[in-house]
Structure 1
Amino acid sequence: MAVPDRSQPPQQVRFCRSADGVRIAYAVHGTGPPLLISTCWLSHLQFDWESPVWRHVLVDLGRFATVIRFDERGHGLSDWDVTDHSLPARIGDLEAVADAAGYDRFALMAMAQGGPVAISYAARHAERVTRLLFWGSYSCASRGLSADDLALEEAFSQLIKVGWARPDSTFRRVFTSLMIPNATEEQMSWLDDLQRVAASASTAHLSRRQRFHADADALLPQLDIPTLVLHSLGDRMREFHHGRHLAATIPNARLVPLESDNHILLEGEPAWSVFVDEVQRFLQPDVPANRPPEVASRLEDVLSARELEVLRLAADGRDNAAIAEDLQLSLRTVERHLQNIYTKLGVGGRSARVAATTRLFTPA
């Protein structure tokens, strides 16, 4: 695996609103075909970006993909004052981020508890998902659990209620030890802190209970999308049989067992190199054949079909309101498309519109 580029440009944090009005924070970074991540249980876009547990994940994926990730409702930089963490609400969040990011088609990766959301989205919007990936994920958390398993889940739920917000990390270390048992003390301490920073105790308790009942298992046989399942053999947070079930039930899915006990693969362990190589190879068909992944030679390689329509109308002299009317879009959607265009073309300021439209008349 290539040495990660630690000088990678910083992520761009943006916001959108879900169908019920909840404000969702999402971030974009990297270069290459778009990869939208259906997020895991705990995240904080800025805290993760600087962490010894997630930084290598973000940097390495960003070398060959444009990574779009978000904080779930109630977590990180998204709105915290939320009580609805149901599967329909979470699907709405993913739909909002997918639309706001501005890509017509993209690969979709489900991490951990993002599985049921990604499965549901892919079943509803198969025309937008080029390929589907799962990392330490599942279709239904409660599938196949014994009475002892259910009792343990209830114990975890109570542990969150009484220990999550305590300054002492003793209670939170239980979850950290399940997620990264082979980590250093520095890495474990950071994940201890993430739990407190990412969500309040009440949200952590409520969201976990609602997610436990999310079930997308019946949709798996319907998925007709290239699928890659990556799962650690010794995963203690989400046991390997969940990954095996995904690969065995989704038509033509491929399973890659990872030689690790860590739910979150750590930098330097052999399984991480395997993971990166597998993901990069799997995404390769999404890279336009007429250019190397790091070089964009034509607008068609950079912008979506809708963004090109918007840019051409802007070049014809139409203002945003006229563009919205011509394409039957909302004014806000047109503004979002233009902002995405400026970002992708690397232009900004008062002259951004002129610089972007000029590209239409510049030979590749």
Structure 2
Amino acid sequence: MGHARDIGFVSSRDGVQLATARYGAGPTLIKAATWLTHIERAAPGTIQQALIDEFAPRFSYVEYDTRGCGLSQRRVDELSFEAWVSDLEAVADAHGREPFTLLGFTCAAGVAVEYAARHPERVNRLILFGGFATSYHSTSHPDPAIRREGDLMIELAELGWGNSSPAFRQVFVSRFLPAATQAQWMAFDEKQRTTATPDVAVRYLRAMYGMNVKEAAARVRCPTLVLHPKDDEMVRFEQGRRLASLIPGARFVPLEGRNHIPFPDEPAWEGFVRETRRFLGTNDERAGRAEIRLTERQLEVLRRISFGQTDKQIAAALGLSPRTVEMHAARALQALGCRTRAEAVGRASERRMFVA
């Protein structure tokens, strides 16, 4: 489903330009950026598009490309955990001063935890998926075999990220998406190649493997939901459970799945949607009708548009002029935050606004 997108740019503390995209209207929900992102390349069947479709009808959903990736500034001097937190601070500040919901997916979970700990007045709810508190190079009691695994991943990125053969990059794909189809593997491999250059990939891995948010997790004070696939091969299930145990009062939900990043047609995604709706209080599908108000006339015009009627046909049926029908349709689009009539019909139908 299409959603109106507002693309903008903000500057982080060191002047790095970050590309942001905002969808929908309502309370703000910000997704902390991960490294394999491109805000202009959300495609059907991807987690990026699924998140937009899930949150845009109920929230002002904000995503952004991390430094060095996507539409954000590609050539950067600093690429570190502190820089990522500063980037999130810049994006949050650019989207108002009211408390918001913060979403941390996979490697951005630690960034979200750190931000929530530093700015308790800004985050009213925290959602973490597939995250970890410590990584290969930051654990206090490193297992030599585990550390070697991290070193190997970096070596593979150094040797093969920019290689014309996808063999090296597919090592990452196999860890991220072990249950994916061949077509999904190829699409993800292409995403890796186009969203980050080889040097950024290596630098990002080094910084990510040094993340440690154990102390920050203990300082989080907002309601927190932590979800993790049981058979995740990239970030082990125990790491997700450990992260939840460090956050006071956090609720931990195991999900069925092997993929580190779920596809919209698998049980892990269904579980994510079910649990986040419960956590955010958006279980009732009729709730959206109260958030966006259309007049009876606007709703009737939109309903008739959904039947395929023209403005002249609607005008004749309702005793209005075609110009008045056009005005009601335009105001309905504005209220729903849509650019096209088809999009407005889809959004109203999703929110069950046509149901008496």
TM-score normalised by length of structure 2 = 0.77
Q: Which deviations, in whole Å up to 9, do the C-alpha atoms of 1:197-224 show, x marking residues without a partner? A: 1111011101210221122211212211
Q: Percent sequence identity over matched residues? A: 35
Q: Tell me which residue corresponds to 2:190.
A: 193
Equivalent of 1:271, from 268, 272, 292? Answer: 268
Q: Tell me which residue corresponds to 2:302.
A: none
Equivalent of 2:292, from 291, 295, 298? Answer: 295
Q: Which deviations, in whole Å up to 9, do the C-alpha atoms of 1:89-112 show, x marking residues without a partner? A: 111100000011225111011111
Q: Tell me which residue corresponds to 1:282.
A: 279
Query: CA 1:291/1:183 → structure 2, altered by over 3 Å: closer, same or farther?
Result: closer
Query: CA 1:28/1:197 → structure 2, altered by over 3 Å: closer, same or farther?
Result: same
Query: CA 1:59/1:161 → structure 2, altered by over 3 Å: closer, same or farther?
Result: same
Pairing of 1:162-311 with structure 2 (within 5 A): 162-284=159-281, 292=289, 294-295=291-292
Given residue 211 of structure 1, which amino acid in structure 2 is its aligned partner? M
Equivalent of 1:113, from 107, 116, 121? Answer: 107
Query: CA 1:31/1:265 → structure 2, altered by over 3 Å: closer, same or farther?
Result: farther
Given residue 96 of structure 1, which amino acid in structure 2 is its aligned partner? A
Q: Tell me which residue corresponds to 1:339.
A: none
Equivalent of 1:52, from 39, 45, 50? Answer: 45
Given residue 140 of structure 1, which amino acid in structure 2 is its aligned partner? T
2-structure distance, mates of 1:203, 1:77: 14
Offset of residue 51 of structure 1: 5.3
Query: CA 1:346/1:62 → structure 2, altered by over 3 Å: closer, same or farther?
Result: closer
Query: CA 1:202/1:273 → structure 2, altered by over 3 Å: closer, same or farther?
Result: same
Offset of residue 256 of structure 1: 0.6
Q: Tell me which residue corresponds to 1:360.
A: none
Given residue 206 of structure 1, which amino acid in structure 2 is its aligned partner? R
**Segment drifting more, 139-148 vs 252-261:** 139-148
Query: CA 1:192/1:112 → structure 2, altered by over 3 Å: closer, same or farther?
Result: same
Given residue 15 of structure 1, which amino acid in structure 2 is its aligned partner? F
Query: CA 1:344/1:127 → structure 2, altered by over 3 Å: closer, same or farther?
Result: farther
1-structure distance, mates of 2:100, 2:57: 16
Equivalent of 2:135, from 136, 141, 147? Answer: 141
Q: In the alignment, is the contact (CA less than 8 A) between 1:235 and 1:260 conserved in 2?
A: yes
Q: Tell me which residue corresponds to 1:40.
A: 34
Q: In the alignment, is the contact (CA less than 8 A) between 2:32 and 2:88 conserved in 1?
A: yes
2-structure distance, mates of 1:345, 1:257: 35
* Matched position secondary structure for 1:13: strand
Q: Which deviations, in whole Å up to 9, do the C-alpha atoms of 1:167-211 show, x marking residues without a partner? A: 221111111111111112221111101111111101110121022
Given residue 16 of structure 1, which amino acid in structure 2 is its aligned partner? V
* Matched position secondary structure for 2:174: helix
* Matched position secondary structure for 1:194: helix
Q: In the alignment, is the contact (CA less than 8 A) between 2:229 and 2:257 conserved in 1?
A: yes
Q: In the alignment, is the contact (CA less than 8 A) between 2:100 and 2:124 conserved in 1?
A: yes
Q: Tell me which residue corresponds to 1:69.
A: 63
Q: Tell me which residue corresponds to 2:13.
A: 19
Unaligned runs of 5+ in 1: 1-5, 298-342, 349-364
Q: Which deviations, in whole Å up to 9, do the C-alpha atoms of 1:304-353 show, x marking residues without a partner? A: xxxxxxxxxxxxxxxxxxxxxxxxxxxxxxxxxxxxxxx999699xxxxx
Offset of residue 292 of structure 1: 4.1
Q: Which deviations, in whole Å up to 9, do the C-alpha atoms of 1:84-141 show, x marking residues without a partner? A: 1122211110000001122511101111111221112111111110111100011222
* Matched position secondary structure for 1:46: coil
Offset of residue 57 of structure 1: 3.1
Q: Which deviations, in whole Å up to 9, do the C-alpha atoms of 1:14-39 show, x marking residues without a partner? A: 11000000000111113443211112
Give the number of aligned pairs. 295
Query: CA 1:175/1:124 → structure 2, altered by over 3 Å: closer, same or farther?
Result: same
1-structure distance, mates of 2:58, 2:338: 22
Q: In the alignment, is the contact (CA less than 8 A) between 2:150 and 2:209 conserved in 1?
A: no
1-structure distance, mates of 2:337, 2:52: 21
Q: Tell me which residue corresponds to 2:153.
A: 156
Q: In the alignment, is the contact (CA less than 8 A) between 1:86 and 1:214 conserved in 2?
A: no
Q: Tell me which residue corresponds to 2:92.
A: 98
Query: CA 1:190/1:285 → structure 2, altered by over 3 Å: closer, same or farther?
Result: closer
Q: In the alignment, is the contact (CA less than 8 A) between 1:108 and 1:129 conserved in 2?
A: yes
